[in-house]
Structure 1
Amino acid sequence: MNLKSILWILFVSISFSVTASPITGLLERIDKGASKKFVIERVKSDTDYFELDQRGSKVVIRGNNYVSIATGLNWYLKYYAGIHLSWNGMSAKLPATLPAVPQKERHMTTLPYRYDLNYCTYSYSMAFWDWERWEKEIDWMALHGINLPLAITGTEAVWYNVLDKLGYTKAEINEFIAGPGFLAWWLMNNLEGWGGPNPDHWYERQVALQKRILKRMREYGIEPVFPGYCGMVPHNAKEKLGLNVSEPGMWCGYRRPAFLQPDDPRFEEIASLYYKELENLYGKANFYSMDPFHEGGNTTGINLDAAGKAVMKAMKKVNPKAVWIIQAWQSNPRPDMIQNLESGDLLILDLTSECRPQWGDPASEWARKDGYGKHNWVYCMLLNYGGNVGLYGKMDNVIDNYYLAQEDSRASTTLKGVGMTPEGIENNPVMYELVMELPWRPERFTKEDWLKAYVKARYGKDEPILQAVWTKLANSIYNSPKKLIEQGTHESVFCARPGLDVYQVSTWSEMKEYYNPQEVIEAARLMISVADTFRGNNNFEYDLVDIVRQAIAEEGRSVQKAVTAAYRAGDKKTFASVSQKFLKLIVLQDDLLATRPEFRLGRWINCARALGDTPEEKALYEWNARVQITTWGNRQAAEGGGLRDYAHKEWNGLLKDFYYQRWKLYFQYLTQQLDGKNPLEIDFYAKEEAWTKQTKLYRAEAEGDCTDTAIRVFEEVFRK
């Protein structure tokens, strides 16, 4: 074969790679015609890497697989083209001539896994997503290097088939499987049935959606993590099937599913049935996620060593090369359950490495003396709880803990990846950018140096005032101290169930004062000062609304304290004035958040209703959507179980129609007391439950100009 023939084959090979590559589709979704501006080269390598290079007028993105190439593309867009693709915008207009790469830039990582998602994310953020939204998320995953995401959509259909074959009736199956807004906690063995029963169409829709999700993931080379079988059976499996099960116990007021004892002769049979039905619908996987005894699961009378071996054996039977993925959260995984499992067969997610690491950092209250021993693990950032809205981060700690683990002689040998495990997404993009760049940066760096490039990429230009904004935020609200244990954002008092000394909103937030609110307010003031200059810049306008929102929430906390002081002083005039000011702040916050779809209740509810084919289905999905973000559960679970307001949201519509009404009712109650009357205690749950049953229509689209509104609202709140 002559040289000309070889070159022709090489040219055809490269051309086919470009046209057939999922990167082509990705580029075209970012900006139509963008794929013609790049040369994509996939080169075999045992180590994940990407290179940025130049060939004539075209930018070359080179890597060992499509995820590495997508990561390189994202790096180029951010740090060369000044284009930051984010949850608030996954498309952009690329320049006619791309900025050149002056010299080859190479990044590699020795960590094979970049993990994504928490079971909770599927309910708090993804419960009502359609394919259009999922397509954007899979692109986002690839751009951020994710090659190992949890993939649980449609698992309810697997269980439906399993229980049907075990002799359960349709009604019994639907008493076991949770509704759309609560599937995460059913799959984590926390509850049964809440939010259901699901219509037949739900199962059909979820199967079709999961197949599209998996097809795209596999095109990229992304490995889906399927829920495996960990021994979960319905609570009545002893009576119904004669199985030897443990007592299921309770979780936050809900009865748990039962756990099938590993020595029950039918354990292997039911596990095999589960995996068969899973494979029939979605194929096999190389990774399966299982979390037996999650959040206080009852282990009394269970041989944990035997349980771990039974779960592993069932998984290995379906795929001998498969790896069991398990979340390290609270006392899970129990040491006795995993200590005799083979090295390499388990991948442990250190679920909140930035806050309560378990891998062995002696400064952590959850630290395990010997870490995870011989088992592999992933450094994860949890960050968000309940999908709550609010600026929050532990910037220094995210960076420092990662390099601390890398430098630990024992933990570093089994550290195999970096991951994101938030309960809710579409918030605080800066933190997710930070954590997902860690594996590509071998040298320790500071948040100050990193932010300089991030701010320029985020807004497309280097603006000193915006650098000052992020310096203030990074040294205050985004830098929660290492020793501070806090479940996510410093919660907005607007969302709290009213009280005189109300502080945190959700039961387990563990909030502490760790930053000066004036720093946030001043950051918002600086954003306002350049708002006209950046008018029309999507990333800036999203951040403008979010930062001004945070500033108003800070003011709300201050005014609420003044309300309490006036009441206790018996000063009726001042009480009337400051309580009305507090209510006005909620209205202004509602006005501000109406200008971005990301902060609108209507988007959440309308997405839920859109999945229904009938009025009854639409009503069920809307009820799921409303309950999850307010009462969360029935009265027992909401009140006694502590679940109410766990998934609170500072959203347009919810502020005005739910939180405002609670506070208004409470202020009326206090006013009556100041007038010497003896009003009846408020049954808040009754009022909250009534709202969950409403069907008021809410718009999903933005209303008003966000820049004009932010300026107006800020000036009204902080007028000197």
Structure 2
Amino acid sequence: MLGYGLTTGGLALVGAAAAMEPGTASVTAARPPSEALAGVVSETVSGRVGRSLARPPEPPEPEAFDVTPAQRVLERLLPEHAGQIRLHAAAADDGVDRYRISAPAQPSDPYAVVVEGTSTSALLAGAGWYLKYVAGVTVSLPGDSVALLAERLPSPSTVLAGAAAVPHRFALNDTEHGYAGPYRSWADWERTLDVLALHGCNEVLVAAGHDEVYRRVFAEFGYRPEDVDGWIPAPAYQPWWLLGNVQALGGSADPATRQAGVDVVRRIVDRLRELGLTPVLPGYAGLVPGGFASRNPGAAVIPQGDWGGYQRPDWLDTRDPLYARIAESFFRHQADLYGLSTAYKMDLLHEGGRAAGVPLGAAAVAVMTALQTARPGAAWVMLGWQDNPRREVLDALRGCASAVCAGQRVLVVDGCSDKFETFDREDDWGGTSYAFGTITDFGGRSLLGANAAVWTARFPKALSRPGSALSGTAWLPEASGHDPAAFELFTELAWRADPVDLADWFERYAARRYGRPDAAAAQAWRVFSQTAYSLPAGKYTQAQDSLFSAWPDLSATTAASGGPAMRYDGAAFQGAVLRLLQADPALRAADAYRYDVVDFTRQALANHARVLLPEIKDAYVTRNLDGYRRLTGRWLDAMRLLDTLLATDERFLLGTFLRSGGYDARSLITTWGDREASKALRNYGGRELAGLVADVYLPRWRKHFAAYETVVTGAVEELAATDWFAMDDAWARAATRYPTAATGDPFAAANAVAAFLTAF
């Protein structure tokens, strides 16, 4: 059983092996390991640890758990090499996940490496550590370098032992099902789950597929199927419906689409359980369809007002006896569809809402009571974001009877651990157990960069604080599959109690990411680490977005409302991108290098737009026609180059994101729905994708520049405002199909961009 509600103070959890040159160091646990992992005796010479003097112990018989699921993960991710990695299950005597990596006992052994672990999560984390720090490759989200592995995997020259610094390694955001792609196939999900497991994550939020749960629930409370269907949004918008923000948005999905979604979610939760990981499922916190009180007279229903221009769903006061009945139905139907869990994600009044006099502490106790009635011992997972969770909620749960609140089994997954200049979650949340977390990819926008130096400084400090309530990490991008460097670094934190040398980590990362050392790549990543990945705390946890995706405005500083302006030295970053392109052509065999060439060159072009736009505005203001035409022409040329570049990789294709999605998926990444919502939410989900650039962003800017040129020439004095919403909405409602197969050479396209940038 996972230790929700426990703090690390007093548990003396140990850190995993520190980053090291493959074969040069061995870091063993700071406390005695379990018997199964005991017997490692090392000698230290001048700070370097030599080969273990003891033969690796034999695995316990019988095995503590089945290693077959972990082996299958390796077979899927490393089809040519998985057979050279031998996995052993080891018994754990202290509840801490541990792994141990060693060479086989005999040189003639057909295995190149032996990985032992106390859980499937620990086994796979150990295998991932071996791949990075001995074999010198990475498998990430997205991209890998396994194509550069030698036919025979290298054996470790020392024993590497590691342990989880925290018991909770949480992954994914409530918004994942929308921004990462609401129509993803099982194959897409399977790789995501495999890679999360390889990085030691052991709790994964699965919020998709719950529209079917609500259909079944409210059929028991007086609703016809068509009534519930009219309340539930289309798949792309369902995350915000579950959060209590929107309803009836984007149209109802057809039965075949709904069933396909249920089938995929069933496979997701089954796979997580197979791997010994916890599927964190949505709980029930009081969401009800419109007209609930008229169907159920006397129900204490509280209208929730609006969110972002949308009507929020009604909320049932959870102290109302009807709430317990609905919660029982919810958990029953959820179990029928997706089975049981030990952790359920719920937030009271997410991003606003109205309590209308309801004491939220008492409401929270009612929610916890319903949860414990349905799932005794289960944990309530809450998102740390804005005013959530409210202190009165946490205090009430902390003070209620153990029999009701299960010993305050609450975990806050904090989305803002790296956001603000000051950080004291013990004070904010009164000692409630929390996971150190970050949100890096708001809206799934095309962003590179993170507050990485804040992570590496704050996490070990928080972990070592006396009485610390820190008990986990939480990787919370609003859409997974972006910015693999940030993903790699953050997920390593959970397996370390020691500080990370950020400059050293990034320099070594380049070699792992691309499968071999390369001077040009190392130099490029040294600069990336000093620019995009050294963003400070203060207000933001993400880098700037792309002005190409903004509604045209010569004074624009961000595409999405409230986003940051430029957060690092763009010229230095561009120089590093040009250096990355000079790496040994042999690296082109690595999928990760090909992906990064597209992504970092894309980012350099996006940064260049921030240089161009002020100059375009200056030419407009001064009525410099030649300068205006030259600069706007360059802007449009940059967008054409961008679309060509993005088309060379299927992960940057609009068709790949849309899959079978219609208006809901298209509007999510442009207008974010209707006209009123677009005033605040437009382009929040925007990203740079081939097809989206060519058919949405480029026509916007071309129209804008053409209109403003008539002012520069003196043909007109004033311009009427352009209805950008109408343009975007017309595109979103069209049935245009987009390719899902890449075209062109990414390296030729990237070098064309490099020539373009250096010519300015």
TM-score if structure 2 supplies the norm length?
Answer: 0.87
Match of 1:51 among 79, 83, 100: 100
Report the Cα distance in structure 1 between the residues aligned to 2:691 and 2:305, rounded to whole angstroms: 37
* Pair 1:691 & 2:731 matched: yes
Partner of 1:520: 573
Alpha-carbon spacing, 1:151–1:514, altered in 2? closer, same or farther (3 Å): closer
Shift of 1:174: 1.1
The answer to whether the Cα contact below 8 Å between 1:153 and 1:209 also exists between their aligned partners in 2 is no
Task: Call closer, same or farther: CA 1:299–1:369 in 2, change over 3 Å.
Answer: farther
Contact 1:385-1:487 at 8 Å conserved across structures: no
Residues in 2 aligned to 1:479 and 1:116: alpha-carbon distance in whole angstroms: 23
Please report how far the alpha carbon of residue 40 of structure 1 lies from its aligned counterpart in structure 2 after TM superposition: 0.8
Partner of residue 585 from structure 1, selected from 617, 635, 638? 638
Is residue 381 of structure 2 the alignment partner of residue 315 of structure 1? no
The root-mean-square deviation of aligned C-alpha atoms, in Å, is 1.9
Specify which of 353, 356, 359 is matched with residue 417 of structure 2.
Answer: 353
Q: 1:531 to 1:594 in 2, by over 3 A?
A: farther
Question: Residue 531 of structure 1: CA displacement?
Answer: 5.6
Q: Is the 8 A contact 2:145 2:590 kept in 1?
A: no
Alignment partner of 1:663 out of 683, 695, 701: 701
Separation (CA, whole Å) in 1 of partners of 2:576 and 2:70: 38
Task: Find the partner of 1:75 among 124, 129, 142.
Answer: 129
Q: What's the secondary structure of 2:673's corresponding residue?
A: coil
Contact (CA 8 Å) 1:389, 1:489: kept in 2 or not?
A: no
Structure 2 counterpart of 1:225, which letter? V
Compared CA separation, residues 33 and 514, structure 1 to 2 (3 A): closer
Answer yes or no: is 1:32 the counterpart of 2:76. Answer: no
1:141 maps to amino acid: L
* 1:560-593 deviations in Å (ceiling 9; x for gaps): 1111000000112221121111111111111111
8 Å contact from structure 1 (residues 531, 707) kept in 2: no
Residue 99 of structure 2 aligns to which amino acid in structure 1?
F
Other structure's SS at 1:40 match: strand
Say whether residues 1:397 and 2:420 are aligned partners: no
Aligned partners of 1:246 and 1:258 also within 8 Å:
yes
Question: What is the CA distance between 1:504 and its match in structure 2?
Answer: 0.8
Cα deviation, residue 409, structure 1: 2.3
Q: 1:535 to 1:203 in 2, by over 3 A?
A: closer
Per the alignment, residue 121 of structure 1 pairs with 176
Worse-matched range after superposition: 140-149 or 534-543: 534-543
- The residue number in structure 1 matching 2:210 is 155
Q: Secondary structure at the match of 1:499?
A: coil
Amino acid at match of 2:733: K
Deviations along 1:305-328, one digit per CA (max 9) or x if unpaired, are 210100000000012210100011
Pairs within 5 Å for 1:124-135: 124-135=179-190
Alignment-mate amino acid for residue 390 of structure 1: L
Partner of 1:613 in structure 2?
none
Q: Which sections of structure 1, spanning at least 5 residues, go unmatched?
A: 1-9, 357-361, 610-620
User: Is 2:445 the counterpart of 1:406?
Assistant: no
Instruction: Measure how far apart 1:532 and its partner are.
Output: 2.9
- Output the CA distance in 2 between the equivalents of 1:320 and 1:146: 24
Change (3 A) 1:328 1:88: closer
Q: In structure 1, give the amino acid aligned to 2:670.
A: T
Number of residue-to-residue matches in the alignment: 684
What amino acid maps onto 1:423 in structure 2?
E
What is the aligned counterpart of 2:667 among 607, 627, 637? 627
- The 2-side partners of 1:222 and 1:573 are apart by 62
* Partner in structure 2 of residue 415 of structure 1: 470
Q: Distance in 1 between matches of 2:737 and 2:136?
A: 39
Q: CA deviation at 1:241?
A: 2.3
Distance in 2, Cα, partners of 1:254 & 1:267: 25
Counterpart pick for 2:553 among 473, 489, 499? 499
Alignment of 1:121-200 (within 5 A): 121-200=176-255
Q: Does the Cα contact within 8 Å between 1:235 and 1:248 map onto a contact in 2?
A: no
Q: Which residue of 1 aligns with 2:543?
A: 489
Q: Which amino acid is the alignment partner of residue 501 of structure 1? A: S
Structure of higher RCO (CA pairs closer than 8 Å, 6+ residues apart): 2
Residues 70-129 of structure 1 show CA distances to partners (whole Å, capped at 9, x for unaligned) of 111111111111221122336834433210111211001241110001111121004111
Task: Give the aligned partner of residue 284 of structure 1.
Answer: 340
Distance in 1 (CA, whole Å) between partners of 2:707 and 2:752 is: 32
With normalisation by structure 1, the TM-score equals: 0.92
What CA distance in whole angstroms lies between the structure 2 residues aligned with 1:292 and 1:710?
47
Question: How far 1:632 sits from its partner (Å)?
Answer: 0.7
Structure 2 residue corresponding to 1:266, chosen from 302, 306, 322: 322
Q: Distance in 2 between the 1:533 and 1:83 partners?
A: 15
Instruction: Provide the rounded CA distance (Å) in 1 between the counterparts of 2:372 and 2:164.
Output: 29
| 8 Å CA contact 2:231, 2:289 repeated in 1 | yes
**Which 10-residue stretch deviates more, 469-478 or 198-207?**
198-207
| SS at structure 2 position matched to 1:518 | helix
Q: Indicate the residue corresponding to 1:249 in structure 2.
A: 305
Q: Name the SS for the 1:529 alignment partner.
A: coil
Alignment of 1:470 with 2:522, yes or no, is: no
Distance 1:487 1:666, change over 3 A: farther
Contact 1:30 1:90 in 2 (8 A): no
Q: Structure 1 stretch 257-266 or stretch 313-322: which is displaced more? A: 257-266
C-alpha separation between the residues in 1 aligned to 2:599 and 2:283?
38
Q: What SS does the aligned partner of 1:224 have?
A: strand
Aligned-residue offset at 1:236: 2.6
Letter in 2 for 1:405: A
- State whether residues 165 and 497 of structure 2, in contact with CA within 8 Å, keep that contact through their aligned partners in structure 1: no
| Match of residue 236, structure 1, among 285, 291, 296 | 291
Alpha carbons 2:425, 2:431 under 8 Å: kept: no
Contact 2:448 2:603 in 1 (8 A): yes
* Structure 1 residues 699 and 348: alpha-carbon distance in aligned structure 2, compared to 1, 3 A threshold: same
User: Contact (CA 8 Å) 1:379, 1:402: kept in 2 or not?
Assistant: yes
Q: Does 1:85 align with 2:139?
A: yes
AA matched with 1:383: T
CA–CA separation in structure 2 for the residues paired with 1:536 and 1:253 = 48
Q: Aligned partners of 2:99, 2:416: CA distance in 1, in Å? A: 28
Asked whether the 8 Å contact 1:42–1:63 carries over to 2, the reply is: yes
Whether the 8 Å CA contact 1:396–1:446 is kept in 2: the answer is no
Matches within 5 A, 1:556-595: 556-595=609-648
- In the TM superposition, 1:413-452 aligns within 5 A as 414-452=469-507
